[in-house]
Amino acid sequence: MSEHATARGIRREIGLIMSNTRLVLVRHGESNATVSRSIGGPRTCTGLSPLGRIQAERLRDRWLRHPEVNVDVLMSSAFPRARETAQIIAPALGSMSVQVDPLWGEHDPGPECDGLTYRDFVDRHGMPDWEANPYNVIFPGGETVAEFHHRIGIALHRTVREHQGKTVVVCCHGGVVDAVLRMSLRSSLTGGFEVHTMNTSITEMVEVRTGRWRLVRYNDHGHLAGLPSATSSEIESQQQSAE
């Protein structure tokens, strides 16, 4: 028996080879909080903007035309924008029910900062430094970057443990995708690289053995071709004037 074959046998014997759990992270569609330039935490999030719903419908229609993964579980964070995204794409996944797990939520700014406009936040607390020590307080009364990453780590490990060998779609957030990438690449919590995860983009990973991930694709958003990248402030003011 070869050295490599012996190593594989030992890994199987002690449970280090996993059954290819597949994680498909879908960032939510554009949110009302993004359009209003405000911090949309778990207390103040009001769901998707009209463009955000169109983005989610584009993903749904893409998967209806060409199923890309055989999905076993559909999950979502508890934020309305993520739940709404999951509900819109569910018909493309056999209309399966959405399992809501609050641990998959975006960085929690805490009650003091949740709902503040970006301008008000900067006026009160200064420009946040996302490259700084992850244990520093960015949102007074909210999670530090380190606490956020710890929570996402718990969500990731629990999801893999409970759905081992299955394909799980999680409708979540840009910060969550960044945190999972950093964990899977064994990178630092801050700095090192920068990613910009588009709304309703697909990031797909497979756990090839315990704690070792293969990145299949990142930020796949081909279904958004032809759509504006964001709701313009001019369009938003027109909508508000008509209300």
CATH of the domain at 215: 3.40.50.1240
Q: Does 71 fall in a domain?
A: yes
Domains in the chain: how many in total? 1
CA dihedral 80, 82, 88, 93 (to 10 degrees): -140
Copy the structure tokens of residue 20. Answer: 């290819």
Count CA atoms within 13 Å of residue 193 on its CB side. Answer: 11
Nearest to 81, CA basis, from 62, 60, 100: 100
* Domain-embedded: residue 8: no
Strand order of the sheet with strand 98-100? Answer: 98-100, 73-76, 167-172, 17-27, 202-209, 212-220
Which domain covers residue 170, as residue numbers?
Answer: 15-242
Q: What is the mean pLDDT of residues 155-170?
A: 97
pLDDT at 130 over 70: yes
Domain assignment of residue 4, yes or no: no
Let me know if residue 9 belongs to a domain: no
Task: Decide: pTM greater than 0.95.
Answer: no
Determine which of 15-19, 71-75, 195-199, 224-228 has the lowest per-residue pLDDT on average.
Answer: 15-19
CA separation for the pair 157, 121 (Å, rounded): 33
- In this structure, is residue 10 part of a structural domain? no
